[in-house]
Structure 1
Amino acid sequence: MIVIKLISRLPLSVLYLFSDFLYFLLRFVTAYRKRVIMKNLRNSFPEKSEKELIYIKNRFYRHLGDVIVESIKTLTISEAELNQRVKLINPEVITTFYDQGQSVIGLSSHQGNWEWMLVSCSSQLPFHIDAVYMQLKNNFFDGVMQKIRGRFGATPIEKRTSFRSMMLQKKVSITAMVADQRAQKSQYQYYTTFLNQETGFYEGPERIAHKLKRPAFIVDMKRERRGYYSIHFHVIDKPPFNKEPNYITKQFARLIEEAIQERPAEWLWSHNRWKYKRQTSEMPASVE
């Protein structure tokens, strides 16, 4: 941890030199998860040429290097510098709920720098933020990530205990979930066509929103230039809720698909999102 903290004290201009080296390693030395990335890109963008897909892959490698060093920098970055680098464009969309004493559900994807997304919202929004996460197998790196995510006041809560934590939380809060992970085998899945492929999404966030009667919104992060991002908030649904089944999950899938199509190099293509396919016996469960 001491070594990582010392590295994080370097200015970002120096850390981006490390990122450039990481890009070289990822692209030319290790060809990091190249097969998974190219398979995902080919299936997602069948209309694009091989040359275009390779260009997106290489830009993704560069973006991933930046996300890694920026995340390390989070351990020591000042609040003022972070807030200069990440601008919340329309926070009033959700702060109106805070003024009403209403806790909310925030959904995001692995778009932009999702670690800076969390800490910048923790710094700039009046809500307390509970960040749902899955515990890493490596205890050291799990501890590092908890320190990063809790830097400006957010509380990391493990996924298995998250609903209980939400029930017990007395503060007006945002429960933040990165909700584009691969859905494991579960009865609580909604299937839809996403990036030209049948894709399962967890219905958990929607079920929680309905159960706790909390508005659900999406956080869209856009890279403006190296080291600088903007964040837009979009309310998906709120009580008394749209009666269409799976409405929140459908809208979430549609909105993040639009963001990926607009800025494809900024999504986490190295994740094997489509590893599991729906079995013929599986049927999507409706939201009660």
Structure 2
Amino acid sequence: MQFLIYIIVYPFLWFTSKLPFRLLYLVSDGLYILLYHVIGYRRKVVNNNLRLVFPEKTEKEITAIRKKFYKHLCDMFLEMAKTMSISEKELKKRFKITNPGEFKRLESLNKSIILIFGHYASWEWSIVLQNYLNFKGYAVYKKLANHHFDKLVRDIRSKFNTTLISTKETISIINKNESNGIKSITGFLSDQSPRLSKDVYWNEFMGINTPCFTGAERLAKKLDLSTAYLKVSKIKRGFYEAEIIVLAEDSNMYKDYELTDLFLKEVEKQIHKAPEYYFWTHKRWKHKDEFSK
């Protein structure tokens, strides 16, 4: 069944990747009508999230953000498919690093780097980062249940020499590289909701008490790595800019959870500025009612 689904979906993805951008976004417009107006994909989740974090906004304002978000979501999905065939030159034009010298400065410290992302704007096209680095690039991801699509995602995201690794592999791979004198930069999407446990860290994100993912910070401290945030902004349709914001050259100089808080504050600032580019379909605040228990 997994293979059957794959062979049905793959031709659509491949064909989409070959479309010129003008046609790609026409398809995205059609997909938006289907996803938003016909299917109503996860609209309840999106509505609940938006009303939760923006209680001061009117229903008209919430609706405007919601529609813009779904248009962006469709663009991002098709842009991910476009990555299958996009050239390095085209991707560099559409995903620009505004301060690449900051990577070089961090690399000059001769310490491996943890690079934290949020689910904001576009994290898919950040695979072009390896072309600005001397360090070996890794991206931590969650394996897909369908191993055919899992391989496809790994192939797409590894196109420009970034290597995808699972959470379980991360520490052993970085340790092995450090033992062999190989410095690396490892990317984490760190604004998701972790599993609940007795010692989970809680703090406010967008004004709501919620458990926070701290794996990137803990790893940076355990292995004595630098920590940075990749601030990705959408400039216009199909064009993004990314800024490297250094959170800590020496992560162990910060108190526990302080780097996690700094990262989340950066994501919050972007959400307040342009909320339509955050990934509202995730149940980010699903555990909020567990805080006082």
TM-score, normalising length: structure 2: 0.91
Where in structure 2 are the equivalents of 1:1-288 lying within 5 Å? 1=10, 4-117=13-126, 119-169=127-177, 170=180, 171-187=182-198, 189-239=200-250, 241-277=252-288, 278=290, 280=292
Give, in whole Å, the separation in 2 of the partners of 1:81 and 1:215: 30
Seen in structure 2, the aligned counterparts of structure 1 residues 185 and 75 have a Cα distance that, compared at 3 Å, is same
In 2, are the aligned partners of 1:74 and 1:148 still within 8 Å (CA)?
yes
In 1, are the aligned partners of 2:45 and 2:283 still within 8 Å (CA)?
yes
More helix by percentage: 2
The offset of 1:2, in angstroms, is 5.3
Deviations 1:181-229 (A, max 9, x none): 1111235532111112112112211111111111100001001011110
Report the aligned-residue RMSD: 1.6
In 2, are the aligned partners of 1:110 and 1:180 still within 8 Å (CA)?
yes
Give, in whole Å, the separation in 2 of the partners of 1:189 and 1:202: 8
Seen in structure 2, the aligned counterparts of structure 1 residues 242 and 235 have a Cα distance that, compared at 3 Å, is same
Deviations 1:215-267 (A, max 9, x none): 10000100101111000111111226334331111101111111111110001
The offset of 1:279, in angstroms, is 5.2
Seen in structure 2, the aligned counterparts of structure 1 residues 69 and 125 have a Cα distance that, compared at 3 Å, is same
The offset of 1:138, in angstroms, is 1.7
Q: Which moved more, 1:30-39 or 1:95-104?
A: 95-104
The offset of 1:179, in angstroms, is 0.5
In 1, are the aligned partners of 2:229 and 2:247 still within 8 Å (CA)?
yes
Identity of aligned residues (%): 34
Give, in whole Å, the separation in 2 of the partners of 1:92 and 1:154: 19
What is the letter of the counterpart of residue 123 of structure 2? W
- The runs of at least 4 consecutive aligned structure 1 residues that moved more than 6 Å come to none
Give, in whole Å, the separation in 2 of the partners of 1:123 and 1:199: 36
TM-score, normalising length: structure 1: 0.92
Match of 2:7 in 1: none
The offset of 1:94, in angstroms, is 2.5
